[in-house]
A and B are shown apart, each in its own frame.
Chain A
Amino acid sequence: MATESRSVNFAGGSLAGQRHICAFFNSADEEYRVLRSFYKDGFDRGDKSFHLVNPELRQEHLKRLAEAGINVQEAMDSGQLEVRPWQDAPLRGGRFDEDTWLALFEQMLQSGSAAGYAHTRFLGHMEWALVDLPGVEDLIEFETRVNYVTPKYDNIVICTYDLSKFNASVVMDALRTHPAVIVGGLLQENPFFIPPDQFLIEIKERRPLRRSTATAN
């Protein structure tokens, strides 16, 4: 249960109860411009930051945080900032295991408050789902199940999707599995959001369809 709810402002919007956010960007420049205050305000307020990043872009990510005025080295030493490459998080063991990662993700959300941080700001670069490893096709099922976890905590979770890399069908499914969305740099409540109970049924209905198509060919 969320204990107290507090306002969080960034990307031209203010978050009410919904804290599972999907952010669509066309470039890294756009991403860091739009999320700057999400990062910076978090550090200023003493929130914990948990970032899941592409291992190849880790240094770039740290450089961008420093440019936003964050003392990256100090924050990493104190544990306020934790930056994990995908292979130590959703892609642990060289595959994506939805249940394992969902449990680990929840532990991450809890670890901040256990260490005394009032809130955790979680950021996930989602391009790990484009890496050719077993299980990554469960991305959308994972995203919808995250909606069972996030309402229990007063933490913000942002999933970023690079529009130049994902295909449009996946992007639309990502849109439908997040109650709040950043599009064109603006944060909005999402009227296209489908609650997880309903979305899981839809996913299940798609499967036999896909299977019968596969058999037909």
Chain B
Amino acid sequence: MAVSHSVEFAGGNLGGHRHICAFFNSADEEHRVLRSFFKDGFDRGDKAFHLVDPELREEHLRRLAEAGINVQKAMVTGQLEVRRWQDAYLRGDHFDQDAMLALIEEVFQSAAAAGYPITRLLAHMEWALLDKPGLDNLVEYETRLNYLLPKYDDPVVCTYDLSKFPASLVMDIMRTHPVVIIGGILQENPFFVPPDQFLLELRERQSVRKSARTAN
């Protein structure tokens, strides 16, 4: 990690851990809580890389504009890049976690090469609820991000709509993020499980499931 860039939002200040999970009950709540994450980033000249639901893309841009961001200009200069799921997580109509990890690293590196201090990455995670191959690797992907992100100063915010995800998945997601936003407040997460340990747990679950299948 080269220089440390302070990032403040949702009532908290980010330390070294920059993989953040944000749980929301509505888009209103999301944009209210993340407003300064977006706005401060633009004001400071950071790159913004957003991965959004294609159906909500226009709505997302409208909300950014409401937060005082010159969306058109930022998109023309390349400071703001808004990518649809099918051009990121779901390239080739399936989820390939290795390809996605590589893409994130590529985004960070090319933004740094273009002179941006940091990249603020936002990811709407509801793509994982679509019916596509590979989606059962979501939690494994989230835990593996914890190997990659400590190499960079770039904050990554993964948003989860609580009205859409099942509770057991939400708890796994919580356990794979060292920082969490709940009720609009950002906190270091005492429930975080480091990736070595979490991958082990995932493997144990798989073998339990497999032996249960064999038993039936």
A204 to B119, CA, bound (A): 38
Is B188 an interface position by the 8 A CB rule?
yes
Q: Does the CB pair A192–B162 fall under 8 Å?
A: no
Is A167 an interface position by the 8 A CB rule?
yes
Q: Does the CB pair B167–A192 fall under 8 Å?
A: no
Q: List A contacts of B183 (CB < 8 A).
A: 172, 176, 192, 194, 202
- Is the contact region of chain A dominated by helix, strand, or loop, or is it mixed? mixed
Q: List A contacts of B163 (CB < 8 A).
A: 167-169
Q: List A contacts of B25 (CB < 8 A).
A: 169
Query: 1/0 per residue B147-182: CB within 8 Å of A?
Result: 000000000000000110111111100110000101
A171 to B167, CA, bound (A): 7
* The residue from B168, B187, B191 contacting A181, defined by CB atoms under 8 A apart: B191
Q: Does the CB pair A191–B170 fall under 8 Å?
A: no
Q: Does the CB pair B185–A26 fall under 8 Å?
A: no
Q: How large is the interface on B (under 10, 10 to 19, 20 to 34, 35 or more residues)?
A: 20 to 34
Q: Does the CB pair A167–B167 fall under 8 Å?
A: yes
Given known A175-B182, A183-B191, A192-B185, contact A163–B162 (CB-CB < 8 A): no
Query: 1/0 per residue A123-161: CB within 8 Å of B?
Result: 000000000000000000000000000000000000001
Q: Does the CB pair A163–B191 fall under 8 Å?
A: no
- Can you list 24 residue pairs at the A/B interface with Cβ under 8 Å? A24-B167, A163-B166, A164-B166, A164-B168, A167-B162, A167-B166, A168-B23, A168-B162, A168-B163, A168-B165, A168-B169, A168-B170, A170-B167, A171-B167, A171-B170, A172-B182, A175-B182, A176-B183, A181-B191, A183-B174, A183-B175, A184-B175, A189-B190, A192-B182
Q: List B contacts of A167 (CB < 8 A).
A: 162-163, 166-167
- Is the contact region of chain B dominated by helix, strand, or loop, or is it mixed? mixed
A189 to B169, CA, bound (A): 22
Q: Does the CB pair A188–B171 fall under 8 Å?
A: no
Q: Does the CB pair A183–B182 fall under 8 Å?
A: no
Q: List A contacts of B182 (CB < 8 A).
A: 172, 175-176, 192
What total of A-B pairs shows CB separation below 8 Å?
A: 65
Q: List B contacts of A172 (CB < 8 A).
A: 23, 162, 170, 182-183
A75 to B170, CA, bound (A): 38
Is B193 an interface position by the 8 A CB rule?
yes
Given known A163-B167, A181-B191, contact A169–B175 (CB-CB < 8 A): no
Chain B residue nearest to A190 in the complex (CB): B190
A181 to B189, CA, bound (A): 12
Q: Does the CB pair B180–A163 fall under 8 Å?
A: no
Question: A residues touching B (Cβ–Cβ < 8 Å)?
Answer: 24, 26, 161, 163-164, 166-172, 175-176, 181, 183-184, 186, 188-192, 194, 202
Distance in angstroms from B206 CB to nearest chain A CB is 14
Q: List A contacts of B169 (CB < 8 A).
A: 168
Q: Kindly list 4 other residue pairs between chains A and B, CB separation below 8 angstroms, not including A167-B167, A168-B165, A172-B162.
A: A164-B166, A164-B168, A188-B190, A194-B183
A172 to B168, CA, bound (A): 11
Q: Does the CB pair B187–A26 fall under 8 Å?
A: no
Q: Does the CB pair A184–B162 fall under 8 Å?
A: no
Distance in angstroms from A138 CB to nearest chain B CB is 18
Q: List A contacts of B175 (CB < 8 A).
A: 183-184
Chain B residue nearest to A166 in the complex (CB): B167
Q: List A contacts of B188 (CB < 8 A).
A: 191
Q: Does the CB pair A191–B171 fall under 8 Å?
A: no
Q: Which of A168, A170, A176 has the most CB of B within 10 A?
A: A168
Q: List B contacts of A183 (CB < 8 A).
A: 171, 174-175, 191
Q: List B contacts of A26 (CB < 8 A).
A: 168
Chain B residue nearest to A182 in the complex (CB): B191
Given known A186-B191, A191-B190, contact A168–B167 (CB-CB < 8 A): yes
